[in-house]
Amino acid sequence: MTTGVFLEAGDFVVGRCPECRRDVLTYPDGDPESVRRCIHCDERLVGELRWVDVADIGSLGYEVDGAEGAGGGCATCANGCVVRSVSARKESG
């Protein structure tokens, strides 16, 4: 992770996606306290959601890139960070 983006403990909401069949990062659909969706397939998540620290998203297959000016790629953060799947990054480049 590059410097310049300050992320606090519990910045990301994770849940089990029935379509992707794995734990995924989520984004709010409307009110952040209600419906959450998978960042990969947009499936609505039901069941238990949990907040995870930025240090823990690597174990889920994601990385945070503090690329300035790129916008909030994860839709969960207004700080301008870009969260991407490590496998998607390897495929693109």
Mean pLDDT of 7-16: 77
In this structure, are residues 77 and 7 in contact, taking their beta carbons and an 8 Å threshold? yes
Mean pLDDT of 36-62: 90
Mean pLDDT of 51-61: 88
In this structure, are residues 39 and 60 in contact, taking their beta carbons and an 8 Å threshold? no
Count of structural domains within the chain: 1
- The answer to whether position 7 is within a domain reads no
- The answer to whether position 42 is within a domain reads yes
- The answer to whether position 3 is within a domain reads no
- The answer to whether position 60 is within a domain reads yes
Give the amino acid at 93: G
* pLDDT over 70 at 13, yes or no: yes
- The answer to whether position 53 is within a domain reads yes
- The answer to whether position 5 is within a domain reads no
Its pTM surpasses 0.85: no
- Please name every residue paired with 83 in a beta bridge, in sequence order, or none if there are none: 64
In this structure, are residues 24 and 30 in contact, taking their beta carbons and an 8 Å threshold? no
Domain encompassing residue 61:
12-92
Higher pLDDT, 75 or 60: 60
